[in-house]
């Protein structure tokens, strides 16, 4: 029994990670072609879009104007966690994000479970954003051509349709771009990030011209329960913090650039979220956030009495959500790449195309799975599961900072969490607090997912782990 426990908790040394990924030699299996600016844009690209362009209609009815506090609470928890991510990313600058950090600090079985949490988090997030993309694409078609996609082709069967075809189309576009390589994907994402930030700034400026402070009169109608419940839904949008760290093997000077990109993305995202939320509620009464249509576009139409601003916003949302889906799919392929390299997933996930430097088979498999989810699964239950997966990964990363600081205090670190150990402890506490706002069904589905992960580890991961078989050579 002791031998089994020891094997389950076997850790992959930090030095082994650094050596095999070329973190100090600018080498590695994946091409190091991503700059600091592009890396920051990956974080912004994976975050701005889902939380603002269509989640307001979900959370404003839950918390009222106090949803502003929900965004602040989510930003605070994400900020504390971002500091922890920055330290581990500068210490273990590899692909795989929380999976790889857990493997180095907490052991193989924990890393495997966290890897599955990330697969849930990224896979459902990509499906959810592509589903939400359909709504804004319809809004754009109505404004431009006075025509909308038939419901049968734009909704899941449960929502009265046959297939969500626009969502599938978006996934195909993202997969096609990812197959061309990380450099090309990062450059396209950078352009889309500039567009989406510009569109949100335009919305903020126009919405503030109709600002009515009376909309904030009944500020907190549902109390702390409403604020925490809304925060639990919102939190999934901060997946961008983790997404930055998945690019650890494709960015130049990762020990410097990973922490800088994580913190820069967090500041940009939180600022945009708060300003957009305040402007939206100031321009439209809380009662009008009923989820009937993409709210920001409707606000633009109501404020200006014209269709052109809402057309621009709908176009910006289409581009923005494209960017989110692209980066989230990218992140999931890199996590599977790392797990495949360690033998905990089939070797097909680790294969790299010699011409493009992209994990081709991996990307096609991920795209197919996400495309099927987006085509046939409704949106309403996805957000909470993504949030729970994100919060779990964030909690483990924060705990990892504490453990690694005490276990290996002399490891080279490009960044150190300030006010240690208070900051990581607060990060863990804030994540657990937000988790309390999730309902029982979400926890049960999450538990079932982890049970599947445990069974898969027993049937496959345990027998194929390269680390466990290190003494007898790599497993083929």
**pLDDT given for residue 7 in this prediction:** 66
Largest CA distance in the chain: 72
CB atoms within 10 A of CB 224: 12
Calpha distance 135→124 (Å, rounded): 17
What span, in angstroms and rounded, lies between the C-alpha atoms of 203 and 310? Answer: 9
Distance CA 169, CA 175 (A): 10
Q: What is the pLDDT of residue 4?
A: 63
Report pLDDT for 23.
53
**pLDDT (tens digit, 0 to 9) for every residue of the chain, 476 residues total?**
556 666 677 888 887 777 776 555 555 567 777 888 888 988 888 887 666 776 777 788 889 999 999 999 888 888 899 899 989 988 888 888 899 999 999 999 999 999 999 998 888 888 888 887 887 788 788 778 888 888 888 777 777 778 888 889 999 999 999 988 777 788 888 898 898 899 889 999 999 999 999 999 889 998 998 998 888 878 777 877 888 888 777 887 888 888 888 889 889 988 998 999 999 999 988 888 875 555 777 788 888 888 787 788 778 878 888 888 888 898 899 899 999 999 999 988 988 887 777 888 999 999 999 999 888 877 556 677 888 888 898 999 999 999 999 999 988 888 899 999 999 999 999 999 888 888 888 899 999 999 999 999 999 988 898 887 764 444 33
* Residue-level pLDDT at 102: 92
Q: For residue 173, give every residue at least 6 positions away whose Cβ sits within 8 Å of its Cβ, in sequence order, or none.
A: 322
- Domains of the chain (ranges plus CATH)? 7-470 (1.20.1740.10)
Instruction: Supply the pLDDT for residue 346.
Output: 92
Predicted local confidence at residue 199, as pLDDT: 87
d(CA 45, CA 193): 6
Cα Rg, the chain, nearest whole Å = 22
The pTM (predicted TM-score) of the whole model is 0.85
Q: State how far the Cα of 295 lies from the Cα of 67, in Å rounded to an integer.
A: 15
Asked whether 251 and 334 are in contact (CB, 8 A), the reply is no
């Amino acid at each position: 029994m002791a031998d089994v426990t020891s094997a389950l908790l076997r850790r992959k040394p930090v030095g082994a990670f650094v050596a095999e990924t070329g973190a100090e030699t600018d080498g590695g299996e994946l091409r190091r072609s991503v700059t600091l600016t592009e890396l920051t844009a990956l974080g912004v690209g994976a975050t701005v879009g889902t939380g603002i362009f269509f989640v307001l209609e979900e959370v404003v009815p839950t918390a009222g104007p106090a949803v502003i506090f929900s965004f602040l609470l989510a930003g605070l928890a994400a900020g504390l966690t971002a500091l922890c991510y920055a330290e581990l990313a500068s210490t273990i600058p590899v692909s795989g994000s929380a999976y790889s950090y857990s493997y180095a600090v907490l052991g193989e079985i924990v890393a495997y479970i966290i890897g599955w949490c990330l697969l849930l988090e990224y896979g459902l997030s990509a499906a959810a954003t592509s589903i939400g993309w359909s709504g804004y694409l319809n809004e754009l078609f109505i404004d431009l051509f006075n025509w909308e996609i038939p419901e049968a082709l734009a909704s899941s069967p449960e929502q009265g349709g046959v297939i969500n075809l626009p969502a599938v189309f978006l996934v195909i576009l993202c997969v096609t771009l990812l197959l061309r390589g990380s450099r090309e994907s990062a450059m396209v994402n950078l352009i889309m990030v500039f567009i989406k930030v510009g569109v949100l700034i335009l919305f903020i400026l126009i919405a503030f011209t109709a600002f009515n402070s009376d909309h904030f009169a009944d500020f907190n109608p549902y109390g702390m329960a409403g604020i925490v419940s809304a925060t639990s839904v919102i939190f999934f949008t901060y997946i961008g913090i983790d997404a930055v760290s998945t690019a650890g093997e494709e960015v130049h000077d990762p020990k410097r650039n990973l922490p800088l990109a994580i913190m820069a993305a967090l500041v940009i995202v939180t600022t945009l979220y708060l300003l957009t939320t305040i402007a939206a509620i100031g321009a439209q009464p809380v009662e009008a956030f009923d989820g009937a249509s993409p709210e920001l576009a409707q606000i633009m139409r109501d404020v200006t009495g014209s269709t052109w601003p809402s057309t621009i916003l709908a176009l910006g949302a289409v581009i923005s959500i494209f960017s989110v889906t692209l980066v989230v799919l990218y992140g999931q392929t890199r996590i599977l790449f790392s797990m495949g390299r360690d033998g905990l997933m089939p070797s097909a996930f680790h294969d790299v195309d010699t011409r493009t430097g992209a994990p081709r088979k991996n990307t096609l498999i991920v795209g197919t799975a996400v495309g099927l989810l987006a085509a046939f699964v409704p949106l309403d239950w996805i957000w909470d599961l993504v949030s729970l997966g994100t919060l779990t990964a964030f909690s483990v990363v924060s705990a990892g900072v504490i453990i690694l600081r005490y276990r290996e205090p002399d490891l080279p670190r490009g960044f150190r969490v300030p006010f240690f150990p208070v900051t990581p402890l607060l990060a863990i506490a804030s994540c657990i607090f937000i988790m309390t706002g999730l309902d029982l069904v979400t926890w049960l589905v999450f538990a079932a997912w982890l049970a599947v992960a445990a069974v898969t580890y027993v049937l496959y991961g345990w027998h194929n782990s390269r680390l466990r078989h290190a003494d007898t050579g790599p497993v083929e």
